Structure 1
Amino acid sequence: MAAVKRTIYRALYGSRYDRVPWGQRIYVRPGERLAREVQWRLRLRRAELLTLAEYRERTDLGEIEEFVVCHLCGDSRQQPLFRPTGPKGRWSYQVVRCPGCGFLYRNPNIRPERLGDLYANGYSAFLTGKYAADRRRRYRLTMDSFHPVFAQGGGRRLLDFGCGAGLFLELAEQRGFDAAGVDLSPDSVAEANRRLARARAYHGTPEDVPEIAVGGFDVITLWSVLAHLPRPLDDFRRFRSLLAPGGVLMILTVNAASLQLKAHGSAWNGFTKNHLMFYSAETMPTLLRRTGFAGVAFTPFYGDTVEAGTTKLSEPLQRRLRRKVEASDGGNMLRALAFADDEAIDRWGGGLKVRRLPKYEG
C-alpha cells in the first residue's frame, strides 16, 4: 500500500517535494490540506454515536482497563473512530471521540493503579540509543521556541515529570537549573541517576518524594508525557499546586488535530502502545482552565530536521511549509506553555501569542 501511495504522489506532483520530509509533505503539496480536512469531516459524519451502555456491550475489557467518560467535559457518549494496532497484532486499542468537546481518548482506558504495568520492564532501553539523540535535538528546539524560559536556569527549581532515563535533566542541569525528576519506570530512574551530576531522579509520583511534594517549582516539564496520563484533571491540579507564583508548565505531546492523523487514521504515528489521551490546541485549554491555569501559548512545529536545519529546503518551500503549518493545525507535535498566574504571563509571555483562560467556576 505504501508503495502504491508513493507512485500516486509521484505521478501527481513529480519530484519537486522529494526533499521535504515525509511527515511535512502533506502541508506543501497543493490541495492536500483541503482534501484531508474533507476526509476528516466525512469520517466524523459516518462514525456511529453510541451511549456508554451500548459501547460497553460491544467492546472487550482487558484486565488492567476500565471504561471511562470524557475527562474534559464529562460527556458519556462515544464516537468510535480508530483501532490502532501494533506490529504483528501485539497490541491494539479503541480510540473514541467525545461528541461534546471533540476530545480523543482511548476507551477502555488503563486503570490508574495499573499504569506502572506499562513501564515495568525494559522501558529505559527504548529511551536510549538513537532515540536519545533525536530526543535531545527535540528538547533544544522546543526550549528555543519558548525563549527565554529555558535560556539560563539561574538556580530556578525545575521538575521533569516522567523524566525517563534523564536525558532532559542532563540538559537542565547544564543550563543551571536546580532540577529533579520523577518516573514510574524503576530501570529508567536508575539509568537517569547514573548519568546525572547534580540533578536527581526519583521513582514514583510527586507525593512519594518529600523534596518534590513541598512544591515551589519555577518550571515543570512534560516531555511526551501528557498522552500517558489516565487522570489528567487530577494530575494537572497537582502540577498547578507544585508551581511557585510566576511558574510555568511546558508540554510537548502529539497533536490530535494533526493533518497526519486526518490522513493516516489508525496508522497515525501518534497512536503508540502506551498513549491514552490525545490533545489539540482546541481541547488542551479546557484541561488547563479547569485545573487553575491562567493562560496558555502554543508554538508551531515544522518538523525536527527542518527546524534544526539538517534538511535544506528552498526559500519558497520553507515559506510555504511554515505558512501552511501555522494556518492549519500547528504541526504533528503540540508545543504548549501554560502559565500558572498573571505574574507568569507578564514574566514569560512576551513574544508569544498568549491565550488568557477565564477562571473555572465548577
Structure 2
Amino acid sequence: MVSAKRVAARAVYGSRYDSVPWAQRVYIRPGERAVRELQWRLKLRTSPVIPLDEYRSRVELGAIEEFIACHMCGESRQQPLHMPSRTKKDGTTAWSYRVVRCPSCGFLYRNPNILPERLGDLYSKNYSRFLTGDYAANRQRRYRQAMDAFHPVFAEGGGRRLLDFGCGAGYFLELAEQRGFDACGVDLSPDSVKEANERLTAATAHFGAPEEVPEIAAGGFDVVTLWSVLAHLPRPVEDFRKFRELLCPGGVLMILTVNAQSLLLKAYGSGWNGFTRNHLMFYSRETLPLLLRQAGFAGVAFAPFYGDTVEAGTTRLSPGHSRRLKRGVDSSDGGNMMRALAFADEKAIERWGDELSVHRVD
C-alpha cells in the first residue's frame, strides 16, 4: 500500500526522482530541505517544555526503565517530541517509547530510559539472529566506507591494538584482523560472541563489559571503535570516560551512529529509521562534542555520509543529482548517519589530524 506522503511527493515532483534512494531524496528534491527545516523549527517552537516532575506524572514507567535528566548538560526540563513505535502483523504494538529534547543543549534522548543494569535484557535472547540476518547484509561495506573516510587511522593496522566495543557477530573484527590490527571485542550478547569467535582467526570476542576482561581492562589501545553502539549506551559519560582510560597516548575513538540532526528525522518525525527498538540516545555534531568534553577527549573530526549505496557506486545518480546531494549533506546535517573520530589528546591530533578538519572540545 502506497503511503499518503509518497502520493503527495509524487504529485509534487513526478517520477523523476524515483531512481534516487528514498533516504537521499529529501536532499535532492528542489525546495524540500528548506521546507523540512521550517517544519522542524515550527515543531520545536510549538512543543511545550515541562518540568521533570510533571513529565513523571504524565508518563508510565516500565519495569526496566527510569526517568532521567539530560546527560549532556544536566537540564531536568523535558520537551516531549516523538513517540516511535512498531506494529506487529496482527495489529498489536511490538514496542514503543518516548523521545524528548533537552531545551538547553538540544540533546535528544529516550525518556523513560533503560536502567543500566537491565541493558543486557535487550540483547540476551538470540540477538545474533538480527545481527547476522538482513541487518548484516553489506555491513562490512559500511565499515570499509567509514574506515576510508578516516583513512590514515585504518589504512594499515601494523600490529596496533584495537578494541571493538559492542562487536556483535564479529564482522568488523574480521576486517580489523585482515588489516593487521591486534584486535579484540566485547559484547553483551552471548550468542553473538560465540558466533564471532567461530568466524575469527586472530581476533577474539569476549562476553561482558571491558572491566570484566583483564586483558581489556589493562588498556593501552591505539583504537577503540563503536559501530552503531553509541545510541545504545544508557550512561554515555561514564562509558566514554572508560574508553578514554582504555586508549593509550595518541589513541583515537571511531564512532558510527544515527545522526539526530538528520534531515530525515526532521522530515519523518517518529517514523525516522534512527528510532529503533534498542536505541536510547541520539547525537548530532552539536551534542557529541559535549559528551567528549566531559569524558576528557581533546578533539573530534566528522566525515559526511551520503548513503551506503551512493558511496559504493551501486546506486548511480545523475551528475546533477550527485552535486545536489553532496551540497545538501555538506551544508546542512552531514547525512542520516554520523561518522566521527574522537582524539584522546593533542598527540592524537598531531598524529592523525593533518588530513581532517578537527574541532577541539577541551
Against the structure 1 CA distance between its residues 94 and 3, is the aligned structure 2 distance closer, same or farther, given a 3 Å change threshold?
Answer: closer
Distance 1:237 1:2 in 2: 47
The one-letter code matched in structure 1 to 2:223 is: V
Residue aligned with 2:96, SS: coil
Does residue 167 (structure 1) correspond to residue 171 (structure 2)? The answer is yes
The one-letter code matched in structure 2 to 1:333 is: M
Residue aligned with 2:216, SS: helix
Choose from 285, 296, 302 the match for 1:298: 302
1:3 corresponds to which residue? Answer: 3
Matches within 5 A, 1:176-187: 176-187=180-191
Residue aligned with 2:6, SS: helix
Matches within 5 A, 1:95-244: 95-244=99-248
Distance 2:261 2:315 in 1: 25
- Structure 1 position 131, deviation (Å): 2.5
Matches within 5 A, 1:267-306: 267-306=271-310
Give the superposed CA RMSD.
0.9
Distance 1:41 1:159 in 2: 39
Distance 2:274 2:172 in 1: 21
Distance 2:3 2:55 in 1: 36
2:340 corresponds to which residue? Answer: 336
The one-letter code matched in structure 2 to 1:96 is: V
1:34 corresponds to which residue? Answer: 34
Gaps of 5+ in 2: none
**Could you give the per-residue CA deviations for residues 124-183 of structure 1, whole angstroms, max 9, x where no partner exists?**
011113332321110011111110211110000000000000010000000000000000
Residue aligned with 1:149, SS: helix
Q: How many residue pairs get matched?
A: 358
- Structure 1 position 42, deviation (Å): 0.9
**Could you give the per-residue CA deviations for residues 93-127 of structure 1, whole angstroms, max 9, x where no partner exists?**
01000001000000010000000000001100111
Distance 1:118 1:96 in 2: 21
2:67 corresponds to which residue? Answer: 67
- Structure 1 position 318, deviation (Å): 0.7
Distance 2:338 2:115 in 1: 25
1:18 corresponds to which residue? Answer: 18
- Structure 1 position 3, deviation (Å): 3.1
- Structure 1 position 20, deviation (Å): 1.1
Gaps of 5+ in 1: none
Distance 2:70 2:7 in 1: 41
- Structure 1 position 2, deviation (Å): 4.4
- Structure 1 position 314, deviation (Å): 1.3
Q: Percent identity at matched positions?
A: 72
Distance 1:246 1:37 in 2: 39
The one-letter code matched in structure 2 to 1:124 is: S
Distance 1:14 1:268 in 2: 23
- Structure 1 position 352, deviation (Å): 1.1
Which runs of 4 or more aligned residues in structure 1 lie more than 6 Å from their structure 2 counterparts after TM superposition?
none
TM-score normalised to structure 2 length: 0.97
- Structure 1 position 316, deviation (Å): 1.5
Distance 1:274 1:7 in 2: 31
2:269 corresponds to which residue? Answer: 265
Distance 2:73 2:45 in 1: 21
- Structure 1 position 8, deviation (Å): 2.0
Distance 2:211 2:247 in 1: 14
1:314 corresponds to which residue? Answer: 318
